[in-house]
Structures are given as C-alpha cells and as structure tokens.
Amino acid sequence: MKKAYLSLSFVFFVFLSNSVVIAQTASVASLKTVDFEYKVEENNVAEILKYLASDELEGRETGKPGIVKAADYLEQFFKNNNVKPYFKSYRDTLSTFKGTAFNIVGLIEGNDPILKNEYIILSAHYDHIGLEKKGVNGDFINNGANDDASGTTAVAEMAKYFSIAKNNKRSILFVFFAGEEKGLLGSQHLAKKLKAQDFKLYTQFNIEMIGVPMKRDYLAYITGFDKSNMAGKINEYTGKNTIGFLPKEAEFQLFYRSDNYSFYDVFKVPCQSVSTFDFENFEFYHHVSDDFKAMDIPHMTSFIYELLPAVTQVANSPTREIIMLK
C-alpha cells in the first residue's frame, strides 16, 4: 500500500470446514447457472504467500534484486497455469521509473466472440518498501506479507481458477504492479499504455491487504464506496452482506491511494480496491513485523472462495451492470 494510508475493499470471512468451492454464477435471471467444482487449498495459498514474503526477497523494493526474484516467481506461476502474456512477454517495463522495473501482466481471453473484446482487470501490487535502515530488534526486512503479498496471492489464485474453469465471456487481465510504493508508478504506466491502444476496460478489482479479517457486521469494504454501484452489485451477486461502508475509507480518501485510481483517472470507469484492513485489525503497516506468521491463511482462503463467484458474474453478465454513479 502506498504510504499515506492505503487503499482497499472487499472480502468475505467464512470459515471453511473443507476447501471445496462450488463456483457458480449467482441467481440472476439474465445469466445461466454454471456449476464448476474447484478447490482453493490453504496449502497453496500459504505456499505463494510464504515465498513472496520471505527474507530471500528482501522486501521486494522496486528496482532491487528482490523484486526481480518475485517477478520470476510470478511469471513462472503464469506459465505453469497456462496464463498467456498480454504483451510479447509477461514483463511490462515501466516508463515512469528511473531504473529498470516491470509489471507482470497475464491474459485469459474471453470465450464470447463479442464480450471478449471487453476486459476486466484483477490486480495487486507485488512491490513493497524493502530494507529498514535501523531495524527493529535485529530485523531489517519489511517483508510486506499483508501489504501486498496477500493481494498478490489472491490474484494468482484467481488466475489459476480461471485458467482451469475457462468460464469467462469477457477477457481478464491479471496484473501485478511494481512501483506502487513509489507513487503508483506501475499502474500509471500501464493505464496510459492501454488507453493508447484503445483498450476497452469494463472494470478493475484491485486487491489490497487481505491478510487478516475484520470484526464488523459486513465482511469487507470498498474504496470510493459511493462512486459506483460496485458494492451493491457484489452483494447482489453473492446474495450476502459482503461489502459495507467504512467511514475511515472516506475520511482518508483511500480511493486515491492505490492502483485502482490510476485506471479510474484514465478510463473513468469503475476501478476500485477491496480489502479487509480496517485500521483496527493490523498494527504492522510498513513494519518489519508484517510477515508471513502474522497472516490468517484460512481467512485468505475464504476471501478467494467468496470473491470467485462474484468475479465470474462480472465476467459473464450480458451487459455492463457495474456503472459509475458520480
């Protein structure tokens, strides 16, 4: 999360007695129900997160060797799961950074001859703030497990799901941004690049800090809650009180603090972030203790479990149901 406070929105906290997911479209008359049995495994979620938040990556600072190792890992993950590169390679080199840095961009093309020309972006930033100069109790590595290896893990798992399900009518870009902590550099670069190519963006779900659950009467919040009908539509798609309004989000203007804003600024379509960080449930923001052992793996698995049906719905609705309100 970019320094200043953060960005966020969206999650569903449900304890799973097992990890079997029945991903099906919600009961909306305009859509056919599609049953697909899929497993979101806690051990797979833990494996991705543990590597991305490992000491080996030295806090994944943009421009440093650690983030290159993270990029290698994510690129191989896409290859292993048959997610194609959107450009000639997975690596989208930033024009907004003095050194060499790149976003990682994968594509699963839609299966509808018309709707495949519209795109959903599922994204998270895979960079963090690197090494601490003074350290805390001998620890100098800001591992960034919650911020935002957790969101990166969720996007990776969603990419794996859609690569197997092949049930998306619209095309989906899976993007891991670099340079978020440097000022949204990766998303600013890619948004302008895609706009110049007449890219038809329907909506963007950006995932920020989903490593621990909230203790509220709703399950997650969304940034820019009143800017679009996204929250209401997600609740409609899940049939539950999944998304609520967090006053702190509006107070700190989190809509402008993460990579969703870069795309909203250029495309003027619903681009929002989802999260379970609420300023009360995690005390290690930009801290060396933001590490793997502080994360709640069952919760993260539940987040992915609840998000997949809603995203599937977005990918298949015959019309653009998520719209701007102001």
Specify the length of the chain in residues.
Answer: 326
Percent of the residues in the chain that have a pLDDT greater than 90, as a whole number: 82
Confidence tier at 38 by pLDDT (50, 70, 90): confident
Q: How far apart are alpha carbons 276 and 13 in whole angstroms?
A: 9
Other CB atoms within 10 A of residue 18 CB: 8
Q: How far apart are alpha carbons 53 and 298 in whole angstroms?
A: 17
- Average pLDDT for 65-69: 98
Q: How far apart are alpha carbons 152 and 205 in whole angstroms?
A: 12
Contact 151, 295 (CB under 8 A): no
Domains (range + CATH), the chain: 20-316 (3.40.630.10)
Confidence tier at 2 by pLDDT (50, 70, 90): low
Average confidence score pLDDT of the chain: 89
Give the residue from 284, 231, 275 showing the smallest Cα distance to 252. Answer: 275
Stated pTM of the model:
0.90
Query: Is pLDDT above 70 for 277?
Result: yes
Output the six-digit token pair for 323: 């719209």
Output the six-digit token pair for 222: 């969304």
- pLDDT one-digit tens code per residue, 92-137: 999 999 999 999 999 999 999 999 999 999 999 999 999 998 889 8
Annotate 123-177 with DSSP letters as a single string: EEE--B--EEEEEETTEEE---IIIIIHHHHHHHHHHHHHHHH---SSEEEEEEE
- Average pLDDT for 227-251: 94
- pLDDT one-digit tens code per residue, 168-193: 999 999 999 999 999 999 999 999 99
pLDDT given for residue 17 in this prediction:
30
CA 260 to chain centre: 10
